[in-house]
Chains A and B, each alone.
Chain A
Amino acid sequence: MRVITLNLKYDGSIPVEAETITPDSFSDKSKEEIEELSLYLGNKVVKLREIFDVSVEGSNTGIDDVKIIIKGNAYRIKRIGEGMTGGEILVEGNVDMRCGSMMRGGKITIKGNADSWTGQEMVGGEIIIEGDAGNYIGSGYRGALNGMSGGKITIKGNAGLYLGEKMNGGEIVVEKDADMLAGLEMSGGKITIKGNAIMPGGEMTGGDIIVMGTVIDRLPTFKYLGKEIIDNANFEKYVGDLAMRRAKGSLYIKAP
């Protein structure tokens, strides 16, 4: 196991585009090479060492053997772990947008809060957010036909708007509440919301949404099918969103 620790020393408010921070890109690079990687700070190119102090321990045989630890409040560092295929990233504070977007494998753990578009269009792997999450978690890029299509995102806090928008595979679990329109336009996959949800499943055509708390403003375009038991709990099953053609989405709401 090779542990690469990045100590954040940047505290400005201009965002940093850090798509090069992935186990894939670090696995075959020495400490010096990692420090020389280029990042965009606003519209300027900077070296990674200008943003982070790098320390490296141990050695690795492949990508899966790499662990990246990001220390400090990275709330202005975007796109960490973009497209990663293996290994592990541990973020000890918050992260900015698009962390783990287009991720294919491996694991990202965020101890703080994650901003919007975390896990955007992810295909595989796992993301754990221990704090709250922003909007559009596991969604598609603006205009994209599909969002997340595989892997798993766990949010231990609350989730923002449009959770799993356009999602067509994989799984999202929210331990607390989800804001409006979770599963907007989703066509596959599974979203479990352990707290409350507002208007879940708008324009969904497939996949499952399970709400264990209360649903506020359930959309009228869902049709009640009957009671169903999941994990020894009673749920009311709805199909929808019937505003869409050939809609086969399932919405399970915990029975009172």
Chain B
Amino acid sequence: MNELIIKNGIVFDPLNNIKDEKKDICIRDGKIVDDVKNPKILDVNGLLVFPGGVDGHSHIAGAKVNSGRLIRPEDGRRSLKPKTSITMPSSGYSVKNVFSEGYDYSIMGYTTVVEPAMPPLSAIHTHEELRDIPMLDKLSLTLFGFNWFVMGYVSRGEIDKLAAYVAWMLKRTRGYGIKIVNPGGGENWKWGKNVDSLDDQVIHFGVTPREILNDLMKVNEILDLPHPIHVHTNKLGQPGNYNITVDTMKLASGFETQRGREPLHITHVMFSSYGGENWKTFDSKADEIAREVNSNKFITVDVGQLMFGDTTTMTADGYLEFNLQKLTGFKWSNSDTELETGGGVTPVIYSPTVPVNVIQWAIGLEAALLINDPYQVWLTTDHPNGAPLTRYPEIISLLMSKEKREKEILQVNNAVNKRAILPSLDREYEWNEIAIITRAAQANSYQLRDKGHLGIGADADVTIFDIKPNEIDPSKDYDKVEKAFSAAKYTIKGGEIVVKDGQIVKVVSGKTYWTNAEFDEYYELIEDDLKDWFANYYTVNLDNYGVNDVYLTNPCMIRTNPTIGSRVRLA
């Protein structure tokens, strides 16, 4: 038996209502237990103890990340670390190599990370990269937003077939949930156009983003999927897009779910909270977005915080990347993934002297500060779109200290005072709220029952930070907060100490979660369509399509309980 006890830590475990308590944590064989007999003792004497971090949206693997690496060799020469006796070499800042993604997350105390955009055709590639990312438990969301099958079934009203298709696809790609990027708009981009509102039609299919979102939300519920539909809104990254974001949020209003989670998640909301008509009149509408979130308990958002510096943007929303490339003139890569999705990659430099960038920076913080319930807002940077993952500690210190924000505001373009509301916000996050937005809220939203908390039976993923929460004032000692969060004192993954004093001391490989939502005769329902379309339109044979468990490290299947098939008859 492998036993460990963490003594005298100051524990914050929001999902179990433990807040600022001096408490011992007992671990046996990778799980949290109530007592141990002959443990190894780790006395952390008053240090901050959190559950292991969960990042619900971070582009860490797949074809898109790899094209970022390919077009940015100059990024790969940054943050170089040679191989050691236990670790592989590290490279890259915004488009890191797979190893350093694992190490850097682990050093910051994260133990679970979600790759949020897996094109079905490159699912193998995504899983091959995920397999090589050490230290973390991984999930990936499959892209459905402008898939031809989806739009076809939506236009014909065949919701049972749509459910069958989603279940089949999640199984074939070993995906965890439904990701929707620019619903419908991505297909129009293949014709050089986009959608402007939720009621614009998709070329040839005649469906609207509203119908796609509504039907996929229903299917998500029919299939009993653990995660809400994960939506990258239409018109993302364009001035004046907050209206369509609020409209999208309203779709979820009143939609009750049997799992007791929200039906809709709006991702990297910073990029969707823009006011103004063009880049000259661009301003922050984070207040409008926050008002909707505060009054609508049926949605969650994540921040997608932007930090100054250079980074690489990558998304399945090809239109967005094209426009960004036109603004910057930098190199650009665009892709069209057959019937399924698309994508683009381009580097950007976010500058503290450029008014637009400064307002974007402010919007993310405003959204985090204005949304009252921390369970509704996760901390993300949409790595690497807003900023690389290594910038989290800085953002945490900004959220915890108004003084630090004031100091930063003095250094950036004055537009932040005129066209954003950040300077007027006084809220400072507390330790418990930080634990929620970096851990509990995300574990909750992904319904990962063993993650994000330290109750009996949870996975023994624990982070201990080198800071004494009762002895410092985070609003004054923000530098100490940043330093503590950038290098955990200990990260414990599955009961083993993997990081000590900010150094990797043991390399482990995590689990890969996926959702199996099969129901009776689901394949027969769509078999003819699949065979027909694969024969006529795909470059891949149906039998060669998808991923099997060989590609996954420690596959971990989540079986759901679909209310379709023989279990419940459709009305």
Contacts and interface: CB of A to CB of B under 8 A. Distances in A.
Interface stretch (B48-56, B70-78, B121-129): B70-78
B254 interface: no
Contacts of A141: 73-74, 77
B71 A143 contact: yes
Contact of B329 (A140, A142, A143, A245): A245
Interface string B318-338: 000000000001110000000
B329 A144 contact: no
A107 B75 CA distance: 28
Interface in A157-198: none
Nearest to A141: B74
Contacts of A140: 74
A144 B77 CA distance: 11
Contacts of B331: 143
Interface in B290-336: 329-331
Contact of A142 (B74, B330, B347): B74
Interface in A129-160: 140-145
Nearest to A146: B74
Contacts of B77: 141
Interface band, chain B: 10 to 19
Size category of the binding interface on chain A: under 10
Contacts of B329: 245
B150 to A, nearest CB: 36
How would you classify the secondary structure of chain A's contact residues: helix, strand, loop or mixed? loop
B67 to A, nearest CB: 12
Contacts of A143: 71-75, 331
Nearest to B347: A145
B77 to A, nearest CB: 7
Interface in B332-384: 347
B184 to A, nearest CB: 32
Nearest to B77: A141
B310 to A, nearest CB: 9
Contacts of A245: 329
A145 B330 contact: yes
A144 B75 CA distance: 8
A142 B70 CA distance: 11
Contacts of A145: 74, 330, 347
Interface in A13-65: none
Contacts of B72: 143
Nearest to B71: A143
Nearest to A40: B82
Contacts of B330: 145
Interface centre among B75, B329, B347 (most CB of A within 10 A): B329
Interface in A220-256: 245
A144 to B, nearest CB: 4
A179 B119 CA distance: 45
A140 B73 CA distance: 11
Nearest to A140: B74
Contacts of B71: 143
A143 B345 CA distance: 14
Interface in A99-145: 140-145
A245 B327 CA distance: 12
B73 to A, nearest CB: 4
A145 B72 CA distance: 10
B176 to A, nearest CB: 33
A245 B329 CA distance: 10
A245 B325 CA distance: 14
A57 to B, nearest CB: 34
Nearest to A205: B329
A144 B347 CA distance: 11
A143 B72 CA distance: 6
Contacts of A144: 74
A58 to B, nearest CB: 35
A145 B328 CA distance: 11
A143 B330 CA distance: 10
Nearest to B310: A145
B94 to A, nearest CB: 12
A134 to B, nearest CB: 19
Contacts of B347: 145
A33 to B, nearest CB: 21
Interface string A75-117: 0000000000000000000000000000000000000000000
A39 to B, nearest CB: 13
B76 to A, nearest CB: 9
Nearest to A145: B330
A245 B328 CA distance: 12
A204 B336 CA distance: 31
A140 B331 CA distance: 15
B214 to A, nearest CB: 43
A225 B558 CA distance: 71
B197 to A, nearest CB: 32
B325 to A, nearest CB: 13
A144 B329 CA distance: 13
A100 to B, nearest CB: 17
Nearest to B72: A143
A145 B331 CA distance: 9
A162 B245 CA distance: 48
A7 to B, nearest CB: 28
B455 to A, nearest CB: 47
**Of A143, A144, A245, which is in contact with the most chain B CB atoms at under 10 Å from its CB?**
A143
A114 B228 CA distance: 60
Contacts of A142: 73-74
A143 B75 CA distance: 8
Contacts of B74: 140-145
A140 B72 CA distance: 12
Nearest to A144: B74
Interface string B77-120: 10000000000000000000000000000000000000000000
A141 to B, nearest CB: 5
11 contacts: A140-B74, A141-B74, A141-B77, A142-B73, A142-B74, A143-B73, A143-B75, A144-B74, A145-B74, A145-B330, A245-B329
9 A-B pairs with the lowest CB-CB distances in the bound complex, closest first: A143-B74, A144-B74, A143-B73, A142-B73, A141-B74, A143-B72, A142-B74, A141-B77, A143-B71
Given A141-B73, A143-B71, A143-B74, 14 more contacts: A140-B74, A141-B74, A141-B77, A142-B73, A142-B74, A143-B72, A143-B73, A143-B75, A143-B331, A144-B74, A145-B74, A145-B330, A145-B347, A245-B329
